[in-house]
Structure 1
């Protein structure tokens, strides 16, 4: 697995994302990168000479201290986890999307409030829609024994969604619960067959639903520790893996949400 990149602004939400990424690194052995995007002068008053507004040394010191605190947080309890930092100038969403090109995963907090690099809803929406790797949005208190839930709609994205979800469930030693919005008989090339073959010790439950996908997934999230959906699906039941549904789930799910994208080789 590639590097786990955490969008970090020092808020409580980004700290929760950091801890989730730390635990994922323990499970997978992947390195962690803590990324801070300095968005100044986006909030500066207009028509003012911008160089006079920014105390560069002070801002740089604050960013450095913020990142050092993040590294210390990880190393205090898990010194074996490889963790590095990166500070970039630019909009948080653009920086994270660019970094996703060769990252293994992007991890964000459910909300943020920093005017310098807050991971606000618009950033989460943009990154989850346009990243080239899975994007995890951390929220809620994790239920350690709860299942991993995956949404499937029969599109080409169903396979990567199920692979990701099955890997997460197997690593946590919990069941995988698959909610299908396009019920059909399993065939030899069905992604579920491949998942069962690859993860032989994994318990997989399949539920076919006629309920609206957004409602079914949001309801299922109440009893899950991770909900996995896709982005840009075009299955027989349009919507489950489309942006509108994944964005709805990101806003309303009770647990952490992972948004899986097409294999980056398919969109290069």
Structure 2
């Protein structure tokens, strides 16, 4: 199975890059599945239902959120009815929406996508490890599902790496989101799970993690609140990873970075 995972869409430039490139990438890489993190797609904070619909139309199969899940209030009734949009699995019981989506491809193969949110330097949450363990008691890679994709939305690289090792051999891939900076540690873990600490953002890298530079710099230099942060709107770099899995086991055969446009060095898998 060939899978594309895209990191945090940041504002208009990130949305437009995803909408432009997803259809072409589906064809060029012969993709079976596309998952996108879009919790920052609406002016840097949250996701609007209209934006989610546009991403699904462009070819996203599942959209994940994160700590900004509820920044656009209108997403709450939308997520209750749209199973392809998921929020972190370890939100407290009773939170709207779901933390996982079981998708069925046209040929009948099943893909489980789940998101967990870290707890180091983040809001207090239920245990992400325990939440994922519970989910995997109901789905077995290579038996009941042909791929399991885990988005770990976390601040600390140590927590993300621990997550990868905790579920190595039981999921197809563990890839991080949230920090907006692509890491260079794409690898297949010893048990066969593809891993990358952070996919990076789809946004303008002439910025401070996607936000215009001057207001962000003032917050660091003067330690005072000032102008509201807003997304940088230059040309975006589309950032993510390409994962190919073994048909028999669902474990990873390869993982490679994907980078298109903008300021970062390009990277594109060769089939």
- Say which structure is richer in helix: 1
Q: Shared fold (TM-score greater than 0.5)?
A: no
Q: TM-score, normalised by structure 2?
A: 0.29
Q: TM-score, normalised by structure 1?
A: 0.30
